[in-house]
């Protein structure tokens, strides 16, 4: 499964943050792996 992480200009997408988000989302969505091929995650600072 491809996990794409998008951020706005106010969020610093450090390697550690990106790896943690991808790992967490992958764990949560793993049970849907046969149905989901891609997930997009959008982060922004309100």
Q: How many CB atoms lie within 10 A of CB 36?
A: 13
Residue at 3 is within a domain: no
Q: Which residue has the tokens 């046969």?
A: 34
User: What total of structural domains would you count in the chain?
Assistant: 1
Residue at 19 is within a domain: yes
Averaged pLDDT for residues 10-37:
94
> What's the pLDDT at 46?
84
Residue at 2 is within a domain: no
Residue at 4 is within a domain: no
Beta partners for residue 39, in sequence order? 3
Residues 24-45: tens digit of each pLDDT: 999 999 999 999 999 999 999 8
Domain that residue 26 falls in? 9-43
């Amino acid at each position: 499964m491809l996990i794409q992480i998008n951020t706005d200009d106010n969020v610093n997408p450090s390697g550690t943050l990106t790896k943690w988000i991808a790992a967490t989302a992958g764990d949560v969505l793993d049970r849907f792996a046969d149905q989901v091929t891609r997930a997009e995650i959008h982060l922004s600072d309100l």
